[in-house]
Structure 1
Amino acid sequence: MSEYKSFVQRIGLVGISNLLISLSALIFIPIITKNFSIGDYGIWAQVNTTIALIPNIANLGLPYTMVRFLSAENDKTKIKESFYSMLAIVFASSLLISIILIIFQNPIANALFDGNIQVLYIVSIISFFACMNLMIISFFRTFQQIKRYSLFLILQSYVGLMLSAYLVLTGYNIETVVLGLLTGYLVVFIVMVLLIGNYLGFDIPKFKNLKEELNFAIPTIPSNISSWIVDSSDKYVIGIFLGSAAVGYYAPSYAIGSILLMFLSPFAVMLPAVLPKYFEKGDLNKVNEFLKYSMKYFLLITIPGGFGLSILSKPILMIISTNEIAMNGYLITPFVCLGAIFMGIYGIINNILILEKKTKILGKLWIFVAILNVILNIFAVPYIGIIGAAIATLISYIFAFIITTVHSKRYLKLPFEYKSILKIIIASVIMGIFLLYMKPVGIIAILIVILIAVVIYFGVLFILQGINKEEFNFLKKMIG
């Protein structure tokens, strides 16, 4: 039971961290939307989209490779050799991409930032540190130093956003506000380098095991880039066809729906670090148990969360943005919520293929899904607007879920409990009917209605025995 207790506690820690990070982004939305034009907010959204993309390319799949290859390693010499070799490769590729951004500054700035060259320069610097930080922070994830991992994620988010918020409120322009983001990445980079240097010491990379590591990592690059394309390229397509203002309408609603993905993050962080130990020992029952409970608790939260966020999207947007954004964007949220649930299910199931080292399947899948998503966006956005982008993303996630499920069931039992899922859906529908009837307006009313809705959901679930006594006691022992 101790390993389950440790697993759940770490899941909870990462979950709280991601909640805080998600809240920081949501808190910043009203600050920037109420002080800048929708076009400037669209530029801000494109900045964050770009910073999310570049590490998926520059890191060459090596952060995830480090987790897979080093999580069970105890020899500090081997750890040092592999870590610094991978870090050197990431340094070179990150620097190269930043230089490419500057070389092609005019077309990139025109396409993404309404021709703002200064923003592009700042983004190229932030992107370099974002790439390095992702690689370095994965060190703490690999060796399950989850407190440090969580702390650095929070600091990276809050230091930059707090300074950016100050710059917005004191009247600085969008270029200076974007520059504020750099501080968070830079501060965290310096602290992490000092900590790891103190623990491992510094060494010159020898690249001894790099071939094997790259053989695992390279096939994940298409998956990483393609999953970003599905998740974020819609903002680029909207910007190209409809302009930055349309991105400004789309991004807040998308951010609300994407809240559900923060509940995947703890499992995405912990499962790849925990499962290989049992898989390598041949303890498939333990692997199945971790996957089953992960799926159960993910759906237990995200299905009712999807109903709630979809129904309350408009009043929430009225609070955190402007009436104009709320009226133009609230219908986006239901599609994003449903897509996030399918993406979360995929994110748990794909651990089966990763354990079997079938990363090529995931790479090919996401290449196809990315192409499908771009085609759907190009055809849908010009004709039905930003809703077309949301529908395209949903279709893409459903397709990825189906294909991954088909392949994964060849190797391990799928972690679904269909009766339990049905009970969760029924309880969520009843809760949703209550929310539709109440139609709350204002932050106090929304919070009260949410609290009552949560009680209704768990009350109905308890009556339906959606969580049995064994599961309740299991979770209680793990947590307490």
Structure 2
Amino acid sequence: MGVYKQLFQNTFLYGVASVVPRMLSVILVPFYTGILANTSFGEYSIVFAYFVIFNVILTYGMETAFFRFYNKERDKAKVTQTANWSIIFTTVAFVCIGFLLFEQIQSFTQIKAKILQLVIWILAFDVLAIIPFAWLRANNKPLQFTVIKIINVSINLGLNVFLIYLLPKLVGRYLFLEAIYIPNYEVEYIFWSLFVASTTTLLLLSGFFRKLKWSFDKQLWKSMMKYALPILVAGVAFSINEVMDRLLLERILPANIAKEQIGIYSACYKLGMFITLFATAFRLGIEPFFFSHASSKNPKKAYALITKYFLIVGAAILLVVLVFIDPLKKLIIRDESYWEAMQIVPIILVANLFLGMYHNFSVWYKVTDKTKYGAYISSFGAISTIVLNLWLIPKIGYVGSAIATLFAYASMAVLSYFIGKKHYAVPYAMGKIITYLSVSILFSVLSFYVFSGNYYIGIGFILVFSSLVYVFEKQEIIHIFKMDKNEN
């Protein structure tokens, strides 16, 4: 199979596996906003913000380190065993510390005790699955990866529907259901659903753990940690960029409106997920490709080509979503009280597109083992996020949080591109990239703010953008397909 054909096939399969879980969060928005009060949705969003941060800390860059050393070392089993035992040791330590310091953690986070207990176990089970999933990706087993991910999503979705929607209706008819029904327990049921789904996933990966042998190479582990720790710093910085706005909104806004405002903001923020879904699928498919082709004859040319087409597709998604934003908001956020925050949607979509570009531009420090630069750049983004949120939230509320997100991701992409030129110059087609991005943003802004609801003009913008891509890329696309055909 040709290189690019295999890449796009894997991206599709990994896309299904990654998009479906993330789509679940979008699918559940109309479900949650139709049942949960704004304050309850805000409470859920705050808990999930802590969840994101601790998930990054507990994986501490070991997943990316695994990919790098799995392709670098001859003894792949040793890499797998060392990475997996490292994760097991630290996860067990986390659970012990979590329950020993339970009261202090609860006091700081203000998370309900029952929810916090579930969060600790969910985090532990999810982290233990990191290396098995990475091993499946490294060994080109996207189908198995996808099936397990879809089972996880199906259980989570099914339990959400049953516990939050059906159970209150059925408990009066079937008395045995009274044993599991608790009124006003919706947020807790959300995390029970996650707990059962995470437990099932770990059981489905039990075959990987049954083959686990005691093989921990201390020197290899030190090398992996040296590579991974800057990624941990970058990961924490990324999580700050992604969720710190909710935590700062909770602390800065008046207590009587904080959770309601966070709920409204978080619901509309989900509409920015369309680009995030694509970017995540792309990253999962592309990351093993980056490492496995780092020593090939001309990897830089491939990296440049892939980045350009990522931008083209991402820019197209941005434009299409904002042209059809009215039906999308009615489909996804059915309670009109949440539409107050719709003004942030274009900002978040563009921000997520810049984040995807950053991931593409960041290949240079991963394949050259200069991951410290990723930590520097991400830390700059995190500091920008915190400073801008502290400055803007008191002035313009959650709109300030959206602007902070856009600035952080855009600056990270720009910094990574220019620093990368000095260390690992990739011949990106920046002229075309800037042109496509500018045209997409211009048309998107006009569609959202000037011609909102005018589908004739909106579709016209889409056709003009598509024609522009066709004119400039037709010959290259034909060449790629011919090249892949010849390699078969």
Partner in structure 1 of residue 88 of structure 2: 91
Partner in structure 1 of residue 177 of structure 2: none
Q: Which amino acid aligns with 2:294?
A: F
Partners of 1:367 and 1:437 in 2: CA distance:
38
Q: Which amino acid aligns with 2:148?
A: F
Q: Which amino acid aligns with 1:162?
A: G
Contact preservation (8 Å) 2:319, 2:462 = no
Partners of 2:378 and 2:406 in 1: CA distance:
14
Partner in structure 2 of residue 35 of structure 1: 35
Q: Which amino acid aligns with 1:439?
A: G
Structure with more relative contact order (C-alpha pairs < 8 Å, separation 6 or more): 2
Change (3 A) 1:303 1:380: same
Change (3 A) 1:49 1:190: same
Partner in structure 1 of residue 142 of structure 2: 146
Partner in structure 2 of residue 221 of structure 1: 232
Moved more, 295-304 or 16-25: 16-25
Q: Tell me by how many angstroms 1:68 deviates.
A: 0.7
Alignment map for 1:435-450 (pairs within 5 Å): 437=451, 439=453
1:137 partnered with 2:123: no
Q: Tell me by how many angstroms 1:49 deviates.
A: 2.7
Contact preservation (8 Å) 1:427, 1:457 = no
Partner in structure 1 of residue 476 of structure 2: 470
Alignment map for 1:22-421 (pairs within 5 Å): 22-71=22-71, 78-106=75-103, 108-109=105-106, 112=109, 115-170=111-166, 171=168, 173=185, 174-194=187-207, 196-197=208-209, 201-208=211-218, 209-242=220-253, 243-281=258-296, 283=297, 285=298, 287-310=299-322, 312-313=324-325, 315-410=327-422, 411-419=424-432, 421=434
SS of 1:237's partner is helix
Contact preservation (8 Å) 2:80, 2:131 = no
Partners of 1:53 and 1:375 in 2: CA distance:
18
Partner in structure 2 of residue 443 of structure 1: none
Partners of 2:395 and 2:272 in 1: CA distance:
23
Q: Tell me by how many angstroms 1:57 deviates.
A: 0.5
Change (3 A) 1:278 1:79: closer
Residue deviations 1:142-167 (CA, integer Å, cap 9, x gap): 22222222333333333223212221
Change (3 A) 1:338 1:175: same
SS of 1:467's partner is helix
Q: Tell me by how many angstroms 1:212 deviates.
A: 1.2
Contact preservation (8 Å) 2:318, 2:444 = no
Moved more, 431-440 or 16-25: 431-440
Contact preservation (8 Å) 1:137, 1:149 = yes
Give TM-score, length-normalised by structure 1.
0.87
Q: Tell me by how many angstroms 1:197 deviates.
A: 4.3
Residue deviations 1:421-450 (CA, integer Å, cap 9, x gap): 42564367557756764617xxxxx9x998
Partners of 1:140 and 1:295 in 2: CA distance:
24
Contact preservation (8 Å) 1:260, 1:341 = yes
User: Aligned pair count?
Assistant: 462
Change (3 A) 1:150 1:185: same
Q: Which amino acid aligns with 1:139?
A: W
Partners of 1:11 and 1:91 in 2: CA distance:
29
Partners of 1:79 and 1:478 in 2: CA distance:
29
Contact preservation (8 Å) 1:342, 1:401 = yes
Contact preservation (8 Å) 1:129, 1:189 = yes
Moved more, 388-397 or 421-430: 421-430
Partner in structure 1 of residue 463 of structure 2: 456
Partners of 2:244 and 2:443 in 1: CA distance:
35
Change (3 A) 1:406 1:95: same
Q: Tell me by how many angstroms 1:125 deviates.
A: 0.9
Contact preservation (8 Å) 1:311, 1:432 = no
Contact preservation (8 Å) 1:18, 1:265 = yes
Q: Tell me by how many angstroms 1:314 deviates.
A: 5.2
Give TM-score, length-normalised by structure 2.
0.86
Residue deviations 1:2-29 (CA, integer Å, cap 9, x gap): 2222112112222233332332221111
Contact preservation (8 Å) 2:315, 2:436 = no
Change (3 A) 1:47 1:313: farther
Partners of 2:438 and 2:215 in 1: CA distance:
52
Moved more, 227-236 or 239-248: 239-248
Partner in structure 1 of residue 174 of structure 2: none
Q: Which segments of 5 or more consecutive residues in structure 1 lack a partner in the other structure? A: 441-445
Contact preservation (8 Å) 1:17, 1:154 = yes
Contact preservation (8 Å) 1:46, 1:112 = no
SS of 2:213's partner is coil
RMSD over aligned CA atoms reads 2.9
Q: Which segments of 5 or more consecutive residues in structure 2 lack a partner in the other structure? A: 169-180
